[in-house]
Amino acid sequence: MTIEHPEPAGPPRPHGPRDPGDAWVEAPTGERYWGRFGASGLLALDRDRGILLQHRVSWSHFGDTWALPGGARHEAESAREGALREAAEEAGVPNAAVRCRFESVLDVGVWTYTTVVADVVRPFEPVISDPESHALAWVPIADVEQLPLHPGFAASWTHLRELLSVHPAIVVDVANVMGSVPDGWWKDRAVAASRLIARLDGLSGRGVDAAALDLAEDTWFPEMVAVLEGAARSADDGSGVVRVVRAEASGDDRIVAETAALVEAGRTVIVVTSDRGLAERVNALGAASRGAGWMLDLLRR
Contact 204, 151 (CB under 8 A): no
Residues 157 and 214 in one domain: no
Q: Is the pLDDT of residue 10 over 70?
A: no
Residues 141 and 240 in one domain: no
What is the domain-level CATH number for residue 238? 3.40.50
Q: Considering 120, 146, 163, which residue would you say is the last residue of a domain?
A: 163
Model confidence pLDDT, tens digit, residues 133-187: 788 999 999 999 999 999 999 999 999 999 999 999 999 999 999 999 999 999 9
Residues 278 and 246 in one domain: yes
Query: What pLDDT score was predicted for residue 22?
Result: 86
Which structural domain range is residue 84 located in?
A: 2-163
Q: Is the pLDDT of residue 14 over 50?
A: no
Residues 185 and 151 in one domain: no
Residues 93 and 224 in one domain: no
Residues 128 and 184 in one domain: no
Residues 113 and 258 in one domain: no
Q: Is 231 exposed, middle or buried (0-12, 13-18, 19+ CB in 10 A)?
A: middle
Question: Distance between CA 27 and CA 97 in Å, rounded?
Answer: 37
Model confidence pLDDT, tens digit, residues 202-234: 999 999 999 999 998 789 999 999 999 999 999
Residues 203 and 107 in one domain: no
Burial 272-295 (b: 16+ CB within 10 A, else e): bbbbeebbebbeeeebbbbbbebb
Backbone dihedral angles phi then psi of residue 178, each to the nearest 5 degrees:
-60, -45
Q: Helix 292-300 and helix 189-206: axis angle, to 10°? A: 60
Query: What pLDDT score was predicted for residue 3?
Result: 55
Residues 252 and 205 in one domain: yes
Model confidence pLDDT, tens digit, residues 117-129: 999 999 999 998 8
Question: Distance between CA 157 and CA 151 in Å, rounded?
Answer: 10
Residues 6+ apart with CB under 8 A from 187: none
Determine the longest span between alpha carbons in the chain, in angstroms: 69
Backbone dihedral angles phi then psi of residue 63, each to the nearest 5 degrees:
-65, 160
Query: What pLDDT score was predicted for residue 60?
Result: 67
Residues 6+ apart with CB under 8 A from 78: none
How many domains does the chain divide into? 2
Residues 221 and 97 in one domain: no
Query: What pLDDT score was predicted for residue 2?
Result: 58
| pTM of the full structure | 0.86
Model confidence pLDDT, tens digit, residues 233-290: 999 998 889 999 999 999 999 999 999 999 999 999 999 999 999 999 999 999 999 9
Model confidence pLDDT, tens digit, residues 81-129: 999 999 999 999 999 999 999 999 999 999 999 999 999 999 999 998 8
Question: Distance between CA 152 and CA 67 in Å, rounded?
Answer: 9
Residues 31 and 71 in one domain: yes
Residues 128 and 219 in one domain: no
